[in-house]
Amino acid sequence: MTFGRYLLLHVPPVPLGILTVGVSVAAALGALLLVRRFISHERLRLHNDVAGFLFGTIGVIYAVLLAFTVIVVWENYDEATANVDKEASCIANIFRNVEQLNEPFRSDALALMREYVAATVTYDWETTGRGQISPRMFELQGRVWKLFGGYTGRTQPEEVFFELAVEKFNDLCDARRMRLLASRAGVDTILWCVLIFGGMITVVFTFFFGIASLKSQIVMTSLLTALISLILFTVLAFDYPFTGRLGIPPEPIRNNLRFFGYPSSQEVQP
């Protein structure tokens, strides 16, 4: 488990955001005061032109990298949300198609699908948030395929509904596979290092401007540090779409349980 996922699982988002910004700003101000203690602003003012040019170049490069990362993370989060809606739609269609089949297959298939859906919104969602794979869900998928494979004695109308049910369950398995991939595809460690050290370099450059008013420089440095740390926190919060309190909830799938008369609070043990 990565450190970022561990934080999202064990620390609520608001305290985590406040802690991220607070620690970053405190560290930046401590370093700024240390620099101003040994180097006077009169001495730094001599190099304001060069420092300003370099700061502008570094700021643009870092802003582009940061914006690109935020866009990619948000697009992945949005795609994961759409995939959950697809997963819920497949489940609803399977229920509707299976309900048109004859007994005793209908009752067996509905009971097994209800167990599958209940396991998805409880056991599977929890393991997905931890970036793990659930053996229980593979076992349930195998049971569904085995039940479908043993269905015989179909009439012509049943043939149509049965084929649709099989097709939608296959789509459901694909959607779940995409959910698992999305839960494990976080920002690479190397990119995180670049983002963090790039932010540090950007903030450190503000220390070398010769500003007579130390209070003004403290305010500017604090605001810049807070902005960068907030954006990095946003990247972390949406980096793992199914982890923590900001993760995508299973409500679209849970609603299928309520719609088809199955208690949404039922727990399925691993």
pLDDT band at 267 (very low <50, low <70, confident <90, very high): very low
Stretch 221-243: mean pLDDT, rounded?
91
- Tens-place pLDDT, residues 155-196: 777 888 888 999 999 999 999 999 988 888 778 889 999 999
Percent of residues, the chain, with pLDDT higher than 90: 30
- Amino acid letter for position 182: A
Average model confidence (pLDDT) for the chain? Answer: 84
- Amino acid letter for position 116: Y
The ranges assigned to domains in the chain are 3-259
- Tens-place pLDDT, residues 147-156: 988 887 667 7
- Tens-place pLDDT, residues 241-266: 888 888 888 888 887 666 655 554 44
- Tens-place pLDDT, residues 77-95: 999 999 999 999 999 899 8
The whole model's pTM is what? 0.80
Percent of residues, the chain, with pLDDT higher than 70: 89
